[in-house]
């Protein structure tokens, strides 16, 4: 089946009220490729500001979600709070959460299960460090992350996978087109071998790692790259060019 192209924008811990309003205004006024699914992810503080002002066909994602109901979990945000605010997506397992905040494969998998079981779709991130890449362990690392996810979930329909080589995030370094396609193909083959042909065919796999308006066109042409999770470039007007890269 044809997988709908997907572009996510991860604002990370960036943005003021005025700059976020400017980004929203730019997206609202832009002519966007209607065949592309777009999701943007501002900080907690700006989630409602974005959801209330952004055109409705663009979804909004939280940058995290907890795997327990509402309660005494200081600093966390619950699925029900997101749903109550019209937030239908979350980014989970981003390398910054895994490395800086020490979230394990299992923690990420449990959060993903809780979110998807309760109606929030997930951009689930995976990827390897430079040391692991140079040691030839990329596929092993990503397969281990996928195995932890598979151990917790059975319904993959609310999951979009984002492959993000840690060494290419915010560094200006980008995996070559061949390197990116190779890992995306391996992820799809893993899904086919370990989950099902249907999940392998239908699951969208995004590339993230210093994606910008200059490199997105060539990357988008690869057979197993179904879109992008964009970091810094999502804060700039060029984000529109990335969304529209298949029409260029």
Q: For the segment 80-114, what is each residue's pLDDT rounded down to a tens digit?
A: 999 999 999 999 999 999 999 999 999 999 999 99
pLDDT, mean of residues 138-154: 97
- Give the integer Cα–Cα distance in Å for 81 and 78: 5
Buried b (16+ CB within 10 A) or exposed e, 194-233: ebeeebbeebbbbbbbbbbbebbeebbebebbbbbbbbbb
Q: In terms of pLDDT, which residue wins out, 131 or 151? A: 151
Active site residues: 94, 164
Rounded to whole angstroms, the Cα distance separating 245 from 217 reads 5
Q: Which one, of 188, 178, 111, lies nearest residue 146 by Cα?
A: 188
State the fold for domain 6-247.
Answer: TIM Barrel (3.20.20)
For the chain, give the number of residues: 248
Q: Decide if pLDDT at 1 tops 70.
A: no
Q: What is the pLDDT of residues 33-49, one digit of tens each?
A: 999 999 999 999 999 99
**pLDDT of 234 strictly over 90:** yes
For 8, list phi and psi in degrees, rounded to 5: -105, 145
Q: How confident is the model at residue 247 (pLDDT cuts 50, 70, 90)?
A: confident
Place of tokens 């795997």: 67
pLDDT category of residue 209 using cuts at 50, 70 and 90? confident
- In the structure, what pLDDT confidence band is assigned to residue 248 with cuts at 50, 70 and 90? low
pTM above 0.85, yes or no: yes
């Amino acid at each position: 089946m044809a997988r709908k192209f997907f572009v996510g924008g991860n604002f990370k811990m960036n943005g003021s009220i005025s700059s976020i309003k400017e980004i929203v205004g730019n997206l609202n006024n832009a002519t966007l490729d209607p065949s592309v699914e777009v999701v943007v992810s501002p900080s907690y503080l700006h989630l409602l500001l974005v959801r209330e002002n952004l055109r409705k066909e663009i979804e909004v994602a939280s940058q995290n979600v907890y795997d327990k109901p509402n309660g005494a979990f200081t600093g966390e945000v619950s699925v029900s709070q997101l749903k109550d605010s019209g937030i239908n997506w979350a980014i989970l397992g981003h390398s910054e959460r895994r490395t800086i905040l020490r979230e394990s494969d299992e923690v990420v998998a449990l959060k993903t299960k809780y979110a998807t079981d309760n109606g929030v779709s997930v951009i689930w991130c995976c990827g390897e460090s430079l040391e692991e890449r140079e040691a030839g362990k990329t596929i092993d690392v990503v397969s281990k992350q996928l195995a932890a996810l598979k151990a917790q979930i059975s319904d993959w329909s609310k999951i979009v996978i984002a492959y993000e080589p840690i060494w290419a995030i915010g560094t200006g370094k980008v995996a070559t087109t061949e390197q990116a396609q190779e890992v995306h193909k391996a992820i799809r083959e893993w899904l086919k071998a370990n989950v099902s042909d249907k999940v392998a065919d239908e699951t969208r796999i995004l590339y993230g790692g210093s994606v910008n308006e200059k490199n997105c066109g060539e990357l988008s042409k690869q057979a197993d790259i179904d879109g992008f999770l964009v970091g810094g470039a999502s804060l700039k007007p060029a984000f529109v060019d990335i969304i529209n890269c298949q029409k260029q």
